[in-house]
Each structure stands twice: as structure tokens, then as C-alpha cells.
Structure 1
């Protein structure tokens, strides 16, 4: 299902939004986190999928592959760690802490009694746990009933204490807030709520690294390289972090932004219908675990309400089909490991292109240059193999083989 956002604007990036998130702050965050050894030092790849673009009938298709950002396997390695660093700097203003040294574990003695907590569907919690382990503080992660044991074990591997609650993601958010208040812990959440915006802002600002690398790889921040960007929904943090960067860079020439989310976790779709941050209408239980969020982040919605042009929903089957398509590759394109949420943008693109009238409405045609973000790899390897029919290792082996062959010719 697709709707146009009647509140979207074509204008210079509004000053009231720039005061919250800006290119300058994104670049500062990018500089700080570059000191963290858990991240790969090089930008993640921006693939041109020319074979798939041709088969879909569009001009160009680009895929930014966040699955190789770090061993954490997703873009979330950029959000929670930056938010944790900025929180620590705010709490110890008189210590003149060096942010880069913080990412090197240089203040462990200062932080040994400090505890952070967050709810998660998997990737955010893993990023927070890894950063807390590096910096030397304690971490508690609250998981809801639908998060797999496989994802729980991946978080616990970084030394976090994991707790379970019944219900969905929103129930885990409420429990994390309750535990923080009762124990004098600090919440590091990627969703905002009444009276809680600083940390979610910092999480979103961390995602600006993805957009910055895309702009740099495209050669110029003056020429707009894409006509369309498909962004995953969730609570809206990734979408807000990416579109705000592009909006500031390109102004009224910014690309058309399409937000994609599961049909049963349609909080942003419902927000677009109502004009305010809203709750999902479905069960919120999706194979796209990272997007299975029941309530939009009010802070993220401030950016999406005027910066996102279309909102759409997809089924779990759509996402799994897109995962398989990327894993197979073709005679031209490399195979790519894309997790359940990672493939959602491609699933949305394919769904729109299967309906000629909707594709025409969005402006998708032979001249379209579309950008997708592969937000995660096989963050739950067993689930990935069950859904795709081959393992992450098998896909990566074929990818490496294709690269070797291309380099030898």
C-alpha cells in the first residue's frame, strides 16, 4: 500500500531542523567514531546494480551495503555508540573528556559504576553493548518476547545483561524506562518519547555517516546523484538521519524519499495519514525484526513529516523475496548478503514497479536513479539461511569469487 505525503515540502533545509541535526554535527560524530576499533576503517561499499536496474526498467540502482560496517553487521554500529559517547560527555562536563579516547577505552576507571539500558529488537542493543564494553561501563538490554534466542546470544556476547519481557517492542521500551528510573541507570534508546529527545537525536545523528559516505562516493555535494531514496521505517530514526543530511546538502533539489515498513508494523504510514507520530495498526510481529516497531518516534517524525514524500507497506514475503534476489545476484551484479530488514527497500521498489500507476505516481521509470540502503547483513545467521536457502558464508564466497574474476580480466 502506498500513500503520498501531502505535507512534504521542496525547500531549503529548515533552520529549526538544522538546529537539531546538521551535517556539521554528523561529521563531528563521524570523526569521533572513526577511533573505534570495532568499525572497519574504510567506507562501506556503494554498489551499482546495473543488471537488476535493467531488469526492473529503471536507469540506475545503487545499494549502500551496511552489512560490512563492522562485525556487528548493521548500520546500528553508528548510532548507539555515538549516543553513548555524547551522553557520557554531558554527564562529566568538567572532566574534559576526549571523545576519541573514550572510544579507545581510555576512561574505564571513571565509568566502572555507570550503567546504561535500552530496549531493542537486536541490532541497536548489540551496538550499545559493544560500545559499553569498549568504554568500560555496564549495559542492560531489554528484549521483548518476539526477539529470537539467536539475537539474544549475539548481544550477550558483548557482556550485556539481557532481560526479557512479554509483549512487543513498545512493552520493552516501557520496561527499560521503568528499570532505569528504579536503579538510577541511563536509557540509551533509538526512539524518543515525552521528555526524552537528546539521546535519540544523537543516535540519528550517528547515522549521518552513511549519508556522508554516499555523498563523497558520488563525487560532489552539489550534483544530486539520485532521483529516489528508499529508506526503512522502524521508529523513523534511520530515515530521519539520512534524509536530513541529503536535505541539507541538496536543499529543494533533494531526492524523492520513500519510506518502507512492514504492513503489520505501519506506525509511520499511520503517522502520514494523521499528520502526527502515531501507533501501528497491526500485530507488529514481522520477520523484519528491526522494523517491527509499534509507535513512531516523535522526534524522527519532525523530519519525516515534511521531508519524506511517500510511505508504503510491504509483506514479510516481499522482504524474503528481495533477500533471495540479492543473494543470488546475476550475470552483472555481485551477490549481496542482506538481512530481513536490510532488503526492505528493494522489496518496496519491486512492489511499486509491479504497479504501473503507482510507479508513475512516484516517478519511477527509465530515467530514475534509485538509492537503497542495505541496513543489515545476516545478523541472525540461522534465520538467514532458513529464509534464503543458503548460508551467509556461501553467498560471500560467491561474491569474493566474482570479485576475483573481475580483477583478473
Structure 2
């Protein structure tokens, strides 16, 4: 068996207390999923059972939620953007989110609106898609270095897309300033003082995928996962999904791991310190969707209270995950997972091939009874880079 060592820094959460959040619960997830179910074309994304890989890695189950198949958008993000826009319009027109669909909201709109956001790709694509469904305008800002393919996906949905010469967090500030000047509605997945309602709705929307996964596990005869690995940019998805899972299973019954790239590991550093820590600079990681330096303050309390471990890892870990998922063992299904989607599986693979494998497995609490839930949050949203990694061996594991 090959043996190689990738940089995977694992920090136990010393501030864990298991307290759940009233914002991110099973009840709120059910409300969001009810809205999503009324969107034409809705269906749960697959929960893939990688039996052969689990046997190789020495765990009972590896379950991967494949979000590349979400509304033909190749990523999960529209769950948050569409739900937040739905809630925003219901509030504006005095409607009940439980009683209306996206199509009904479109018929109620009496004025043209513009929705604006900052994105590394997937969130902006989701907002642009929702705006198009409603016949409205969208203006999407992206940080410097954004892949042209991700820009094109947004433009193809009829939105305006502006790539700045700033990093993600500075681009968010530019978006806010411009939107305030022009009267646009900002649909952003991070929060700050005076801006909390929409990011809360976005995070609640993300929990639809967790509600689906729990239902799918029950159908498989699985009582509960023992582990969940959740990747974090600002931490919105991680907190939204973890909030749901700990409400269902209890925080002390779930070994939860939040994973980030080492060049943008603001949640990891916050977890180590026990308070919010921001990271600056270019954050030039291949995990574009996770290249965020300022944690979402709405999600942070839940992550601080309920995360078991925080991980900061090098880009080669995500690249390894992409290759393993794309080249399955035995009869396991093939999963096309992008840079940000594959990092959780990459951590499992990095642990398996590590020179101190047994020590790594013990550190992560993994053994033959472990049932591991992973979220592949995106497919090949940058096809050129995906092929450079999977076909050409970019970011190799043995260097």
C-alpha cells in the first residue's frame, strides 16, 4: 500500500458544550424543504453508499451526498439563495412561505427588483438562477482570480457578473456599498451588524440537504451517522447542516469535523482560539468556494458549541479526494466532485495513506463501526481545473 503524508492539522474543540441553536433546527429545515419541494424539477440529490471504499478504509459506511445533481446547477448553493429570496418576498408582500411557491411569488411581484451578492461561483449562480425564475435582475460580484467558466455560468443565467481586483471579503464590502447606493437587495451568505435576517434564511435553506440525507439514511436502515465532515468557507453551510443534525441526533452523539483549506482557515483558527478570528490576504487555494477569511458570526456560536474537531489542510488533500471520488473502487458509484466538494473525502484518504495511519484514525475517532457522512457540495464547476487535477495529476499527493 502507498504511504504518504499530507498536511492535515486537527484541533480538538476545547469549547464544545453541545448547545444547539434555535435558528438552525429540524423544524426550520422542514419549512425550507417544503418550499424547495414546490420548485419545478425538485428531487433529493443522491446519497451514495461507497461500500468498497469503506471496506478499504476500515470503516462501516462512507455515505456521500452528491450535490452536483441539484437542479442541474452542479452545486447545492441555490438551496440557500432561492429560499432567502422566497422569504424576503413573502415578507415584502405579506405572504406565508408555507403556502406559496416560487412561481406564485413571481405572479405577485409588482415592481422590478435587482438581487446582488458576492460569490466564489456557486452561491452567485444560485442567486442568478432564482432571479431568472422570478423574471428579475441579478448583479453578481466575484473576487479576483475567479475562473472564467464560473463567470460564464452566471452570465448564461442572464445576470450581470463583475470580477473585482479584491479578495472575497473586500468584494463583499464593495457589493454592500454599491447595493445601498443603487437600492438593490443584497442576498449574502455571511452576516454583520444590521444584516442577519437574509443570511439566516440562506443557512436554513441549506439544511434541506441534511433533511434529505437523514431521510435517505433511514431508508437504508441506518439509525444515524457516527461522523460528519463539513467543509467551511464562512461556515454558513457547515452551521446550517450541523445545526439540523445535532437537533436530530444530539451533539454528543455525533463526531463532527469542520474542514478548511490552510490558506483560508478562519473557522479553524477561531476554533483553536475560542473566538472569531479573521484571515486576510489573497487566500489562493484551489478550494475557491472555501476561500473566505471572515467567519459568519451567525453560524459561529453553533460551530463553537457543537463541532468536535476543526481541520486545516493543504490543497493536495482536496485534489486527492477529487481523484478518489472520480475513480471508484469495485461497484461504488463514480462521483464528480469539485475542489471544495471533495475535501472531506480527501481527509479520510489522507488519514488512510498516512505513515501514522492508526494514530490518525484514532485521532478522528474512526474504526470499523464508523458511519461517515460527507457532503460533496459541488461537481466540476471549473471543468478545466477539474481535468488538470484528475487527468493530469495537478497537486499530487506524493510530493
Tell me the TM-score normalized by structure 2: 0.90
Q: Is the 8 A contact 1:234 1:291 kept in 2?
A: yes
Worse overlay, 62-71 or 244-253: 244-253
The within-5 A match list for 1:3-402 is 3-10=11-18, 14=20, 17-18=21-22, 20-37=23-40, 40-93=41-94, 96=95, 101-104=100-103, 106-108=105-107, 110=109, 112-219=111-218, 224-280=223-279, 283-353=282-352, 354=354, 355=356, 356-389=358-391
Question: Runs of 4+ in structure 1 displaced over 3 angstroms?
Answer: 96-102, 220-224
Per-residue deviation at 1:386? 2.3
213-222 or 354-363: bigger deviation: 213-222
Q: 1:76 to 1:29 in 2, by over 3 A?
A: same
Question: 1:201-242: per-residue Cα shift (whole Å, max 9, x none)?
Answer: 111101111111111112289974211100011110111111
**What is the CA-CA distance between 1:195 and the residue it aligns to?**
1.6
Q: Go from structure 1 to structure 2 and tell me whether the alpha carbon gap of 1:299 and 1:325 turns closer, same or farther (over 3 Å shift).
A: same
Moved more, 199-208 or 324-333: 324-333
- Structure 1 residues 137 and 108, CA gap change in structure 2 (3 angstroms): farther
Work out the CA distance in 2 between the residues paired with 1:384 and 1:252: 35
Measured against aligned partners, the alpha-carbon deviations of 1:247-288 in whole angstroms (never above 9, x if no partner) come to: 111125531100111010101011112222221266411111
Gaps of 5+ in 2: 1-8, 393-399
Count of paired positions: 381
- With over 3 angstroms needed to count, the CA separation of the structure-2 counterparts of 1:282 and 1:181, relative to structure 1, is closer
With CA pairs under 8 Å and 6+ residues apart, which has the higher RCO, 1 or 2?
2
**Matches of 2:182 and 2:107 in 1, distance apart?**
21
- Superimposed CA distance per residue, residues 303-327 of structure 1 (whole angstroms, 9 cap, x where no aligned partner): 1011111011121111112101111
8 Å CA contact 1:262–1:313 kept in 2: the answer is: yes
SS in 2 for 1:332: coil
- Give the secondary structure class of the aligned counterpart of 1:166: coil
Matched residue SS, 1:130: helix
- Cα distance in 1, alignment partners of residues 97 and 267 from structure 2: 37
Deviation at 1:106, TM superposition (A): 4.8
Q: Write the deviation string for residues 87-110 of structure 1: whole angstroms up to 9, x where unpaired.
A: 1112222xx366665512653572
The verdict on how the C-alpha distance between 1:41 and 1:91 changes in structure 2, with shifts beyond 3 A counting, is closer
Q: Secondary structure at the match of 2:298?
A: helix
Q: 2:204 aligns to what SS in structure 1?
A: helix
SS in 1 for 2:48: strand
Structure 1 unaligned residues grouped into runs of 5+: 391-409
Mean CA deviation greater in 46-55 or 221-230: 221-230
Distance 1:90 1:195 in 2: 17
Distance 1:9 1:358, change over 3 A: farther
The superposition leaves residues 81-133 of structure 1 with CA deviations (integer Å, 9 ceiling, x where unpaired) of 1011111112222xx36666551265357254211110000000000000011
- Contact kept? 1:221, 1:250, Cα under 8 Å: no
SS in structure 2 of the partner of residue 270 of structure 1: helix
Whether the aligned pair in 1 keeps the contact of 2:31 and 2:98 (CA below 8 Å) is: no
Q: Equivalents in 1 of 2:294, 2:222: separation in Å?
A: 35
1:45-95 deviation per Cα after TM superposition (whole angstroms, max 9, x unaligned): 1111111112112221111111111211111121111011111112222xx
The alignment's C-alpha RMSD in Å is: 2.1
- SS of corresponding position for 2:77: helix
Tell me if structure 2 keeps the 8 A contact 1:33–1:100. no
Assess if the C-alpha contact under 8 Å between 2:86 and 2:97 holds in 1: no
